Amino acid sequence: MDKDNQRGGKYTVKLYVDIYFLFNFWLDFSVLFLTAQFEKEEGKYKRKGFSLKKGCLAAIVGALFGLFPPVFGWILPVRVFAYIAGMISMLLIAFGTTQMFQRIPVFLGNSALLGGILLAFPFRKDAIVIAGMTWMAVLCIKRFLGKLFYVQHIKQHLCEVLLEFEGIEKEAVGLWDTGNRLKDPYSKKPVIVVAEQLLGEYLDTAKKIAPQHYVLIPYTSVGGTGMLEGVRLTKTVVRTTEQEFLHTDVIAACGRKDLFFQKPYQIILHTELIPNVPFKQ
């Protein structure tokens, strides 16, 4: 491959496509991995679908786009197209379509970071250390702000909940969760997810004296599929700062311990239980 030099002559660059491809693959995967780490937040609201398999596939596609300039020429339009098309393709494969525009600046920042390390390394051997410390500092600040905003979000979506089953009443704090749309596939009743220590007595009672109200509910989530134990509640009352909602057609399912570990709530409500959404958004 011939290229012009600054003195008007030409020089020949020998490009090994396999090494060039592997280098781009490593670089693209590193940028995607940093992007996924940078976006991690508390709670399920920022859950991402990044995985090793998706990351490798996205990096392969990005590396293929990286071959465009040496194949079609190092002119500016080809380089711009290869970079933009490669970036969008990698993000779509690795993360999906959700929050694409919010993710692009993070991807570009990590690209600039790794590119800066590669350019500076021949002149400063501590370039990796300096860049790593800078990235960690930015990451810590973002994590702190993310957790702060997450806590505020949770506080705005908490409410009081009264459960009743076979004459046994329990009061707890519930979270109006925009992600819970789980329904019993047979009765089509909304399902709330309740902490085990709160629902345990109801489950025991249903198994002993009211088996007709004991149900198993299939579910699908990011972590996989399974069955949840549950009971058909006699009554569910949801109290917000402005309104009170009474429901008699709700099923309470037993949730995993990690869903409620160190959380200020014991119940994840179904979206239909508060139809008017009387919270700050």
Q: Which two tokens stand for residue 1?
A: 């491959």
Q: What is the pLDDT of residues 216-261, one digit of tens each?
A: 998 877 667 889 999 999 999 999 888 899 999 899 999 888 888 8
First to last CA, the chain: 57
CA–CA distance, 13 with 89 (Å, rounded to integer): 29
Please check the confidence at residue 214 and state whether its pLDDT lies above 90: yes
Average pLDDT over residues 130-153: 72
Q: What is the pLDDT of residues 152-199, one digit of tens each?
A: 777 778 899 999 999 999 999 999 866 788 899 888 999 999 999 999
| Entry field: residues in the chain | 281
CA–CA distance, 88 with 93 (Å, rounded to integer): 9
Contact between 195 and 256 (Cβ < 8 Å): no
Q: What is the 3-state secondary structure (H, E, C) of 110-153?
A: HHHHHHHHHHHCCCCCCHHHHHHHHHHHHHHHHHHHHHHHHHHH
Residue 182, CB half-sphere, CA atoms under 13 Å: how many?
Answer: 26
Give me the torsion for CA of 129, 131, 136, 139, rounded to 10°.
-170
Q: Note if the pTM is more than 0.95.
A: no
